[in-house]
Amino acid sequence: MQTADIRQRWLDYFGDRGHTVVPSASLVSDDPTLLFTVAGMVPFIPYLTGLVPAPYPRATSVQKCIRTNDIEEVGKTPRHGTFFQMNGNFSFGDYFKDGAIGYAWELLTSPESAGGYGFDEKDLWVTVYEDDDEAIRLWKQIAGLPDERIQRLGKDTNYWSTGQAGPAGPCSEIFFDRGPAYGADGGPATDDDRYVEIWNLVFMQYAIEDVRSKVDFRIAGDLPRKNIDTGMGLERVAFLKQGVENMYEIDQVRPVLDEASRLSGRRYGADHDDDVRMRVIADHVRSSLMLMSDGITPSNEGRGYILRRLLRRSVRSMRLLGVDGATFPELFAASRDAMKAAYPEVETDYDRISRAAISEEEAFLRTLAGGTTILDLAVDKTKAAGTPALPGDTAFLLHDTYGFPIDLTLEIAEEAGLTVDRAAFDTLMTQQRTRAKADAKAKKSVLADLSAYSEFRRVGETVFTGYDELETSSRIL
C-alpha cells in the first residue's frame, strides 16, 4: 500500500464520517513559541484550548511535522524521522472516547477492500493511562481486545498536558507487534522495537491546576467541552504495510537512500554503520527539502539553523560513506521526485530550493576542507605530545572562525583515537555567549526598539513539542 493510498484512505474515512478535511498547515507554525509544527494538533490549538470557538465540530488532516528532538534517533530506530506526516482526527466537544476508539479500531482493522488498512486484529496492542478504567472498558467492548493486550502505563507516557494550567487528559496508544524476530513478547510496555507505536489517542477531559510538572498537578474538574486529538504516523503505517524494515525504506524516502548508495558505491544492507548513514541522509535530505519548500533558508539562527544542521549532517554522512564531492544535486532531485505527487510545490519551487541547497553544500565543503587541514595538524601535534585530548581552544577556533561544528571535531578526534578537552571548549563557548549578550545590551541602548528581535530569539530557544515536553532546541545543536 503506497503512502499516498494510506493518506487518501484516511481522509476518505474521516471525511465520510462528518470530519471537515483541513489541508496541512506550514511546517512553520503560527505560534511564535513553537519552532516548528510538531504534531497534527498544532494548527488546532486555539480550538482545543477553547480560546477560539471551533468552526466545525470535527476535523481531519494529514499534517507535515518536524521534530528536532528525535534527531538522534534517526536511522537508528526504525520509526523516527525529523520530518514525518501525522494523520489526525479531532473532535471539538463532539464525539469522545468511544468515538475515537471506535473509529481507530475500524479503520485499522477493516479489510483493504473495504477502504481500511487491513491490519490483523491479533497484531494490535494498546496502552492506556493506568487509572483510565473507562478506556479499558471501551477497548474490550468495542474492539473485543483481551486483557493481555491492554497495558496500563503511567503519566510519563500516557497523559497529555501542556505543562501549564488548562486542558489535559489521559492517552491511549495503539501498537503493532512485528513478531518474535524483533524482541521478547512482553508487549509495548517493555519493547518499542518489536511493538511499534502507530497511533496516539488523546482524551482531553480535565482542567488541571497547581501544575508543578507534566506529571505533577491537580485535577480541578471536568472540561465543559471534552475534545479528541489523535495522531497516527503516516510513515509508520506505510513501513508496516509495505513490508519493509523501517520508515526510511518506504516509497517516499527509499529513492534518496538508494541514490546515496549509488553515489557512494556502498550497498545498503552490507554494513550497519553505513546503513545508518544512508538512512540519516534519506531523512535529512527530505526534511530539508520540505523545510525549504515552506520558505526556510539556511542561516545561523532559529529555524534556519536547524535546516543548516540537517544539511550539514547530510554532507557529513556522505563523507563518512567516502564521498568528498557534491551530492546534493542528485540527492535532492531524488527526494523531489519521491515527494512531488503529495506536495507539488517541491517541484514547482525546485529551482529556488535546489539553488539554496547546492550553494549551502558548496560552502560547507569549503569549510570542511579548510577545517580538516587545521584539525589534522592539531591531531598530529596532540599525538606527538603524547596527550589524549585535543585542546579546547583548537576546537573553539574551528567552531568560531571556521564554522566547523563541534560534533564533527569530536567525531574526527575519536576516529584518530583522541578525545577533546570539552570542559575548556565549553568555557570558551560560555565566555563568547556572555560577550555576545553584553554586545547585544550595548546595541540595545543605541537602537530604539528591539522587541521584535527578542520575540524572534524566543523562537530559537523554546520548542513546544506537542505530545512531548517543553525543551530547548539547543540540545540538538
Q: Which residues bind ligand ATP (CB under 6 A)?
A: 67, 70, 79-81, 84, 86, 197-200, 231-233, 235-236, 467-468
C-beta of 238 vs 368, nearer to ligand ATP: 238
| Residue 41 binding target from ligand ATP, Mg ion, none, CB below 5 to 8 Å by type | none
Q: How far is the CB of 403 from ligand ATP (least distance, A)?
A: 28
- CA-to-CA dists, residue 17 to 12, 59, 279, 428, angstroms: 8, 10, 37, 59
- The sign of the torsion formed by the CA atoms of 314, 320, 325, 330 equals negative
C-beta of 252 vs 327, nearer to ligand ATP: 252
Q: CA 187 to CA 239: how far, in whole Å?
A: 20
C-beta of 38 vs 379, nearer to ligand ATP: 38
| Residue 149 binding target from ligand ATP, Mg ion, none, CB below 5 to 8 Å by type | none
| Residue 281 binding target from ligand ATP, Mg ion, none, CB below 5 to 8 Å by type | none
Q: How far is the CB of 372 from Mg ion (least distance, A)?
A: 35
Q: How far is the CB of 283 from ligand ATP (least distance, A)?
A: 9
Cell reading at 279: 538512512
What percentage of the chain's residues is helix, strand, coil (to nearest 5)? 50, 20, 30
DSSP summary character for residue 398? H
Among 200, 252, 367, 394, binds Mg ion (CB under 5 A): 200
Q: How far apart are the first and last CA of the chain?
A: 36
Three-state secondary-structure class, residue 429: helix
Task: Work out the angle at residue 372's Cα, subtended by the Cα atoms of residues 369 and 375, and round it to the nearest 5 degrees.
Answer: 155
Q: How far is the CB of 105 from ligand ATP (least distance, A)?
A: 15
| Residue 309 binding target from Mg ion, ligand ATP, none, CB below 5 to 8 Å by type | none
Size, binding site for Mg ion by CB under 5 A? 2
Q: CA 298 to CA 301: how far, in whole Å?
A: 9
Q: How far is the CB of 468 from ligand ATP (least distance, A)?
A: 6
Determine, following the binding rule CB under 5 A, whether residue 68 of this chain makes contact with Mg ion.
no
| Residue 86 binding target from ligand ATP, Mg ion, none, CB below 5 to 8 Å by type | ligand ATP
Q: CA 442 to CA 452: how far, in whole Å?
A: 17
Residue 92 φ then ψ, to 5°: -110, 90
User: Binding pattern to Mg ion, positions 179-198, x when CB under 5 A?
Assistant: ------------------x-
Residue 93 φ then ψ, to 5°: 70, 15
Element (H, E) at 64: strand 58-66
Q: Are 101 and 143 in contact (CB under 8 A)?
A: yes
Write 404-407 long-range contacts (CB < 8 A, 24+).
404/367, 404/368, 404/371, 404/375, 405/309, 405/312
Residue nearest to ligand ATP (CB): 233
Q: How far is the CB of 256 from ligand ATP (least distance, A)?
A: 16
Buried b / exposed e over 50-79, threshold 16 CB at 10 Å, is beeebeeebbbbbbbbbbbbbbeebbebbb
Q: How far is the CB of 200 from Mg ion (least distance, A)?
A: 4
C-beta of 62 vs 321, nearer to ligand ATP: 62
C-beta of 188 vs 371, nearer to ligand ATP: 188
Q: How far is the CB of 156 from ligand ATP (least distance, A)?
A: 11
C-beta of 40 vs 460, nearer to ligand ATP: 40
Q: How far is the CB of 408 from ligand ATP (least distance, A)?
A: 24
Q: How far is the CB of 292 from Mg ion (least distance, A)?
A: 24
- CA-to-CA dists, residue 387 to 381, 393, 416, angstroms: 9, 15, 12
Cell reading at 208: 488541571
Cell reading at 269: 544492507
C-beta of 166 vs 233, nearer to ligand ATP: 233
| Residue 79 binding target from Mg ion, ligand ATP, none, CB below 5 to 8 Å by type | ligand ATP
Cell reading at 8: 487518501
| Residue 67 binding target from ligand ATP, Mg ion, none, CB below 5 to 8 Å by type | ligand ATP
C-beta of 84 vs 404, nearer to ligand ATP: 84
Q: Identity (one letter) of the amino acid at 311?
A: L
Cell reading at 69: 528532538
Sites of contact with Mg ion (CB under 5 A): 197, 200
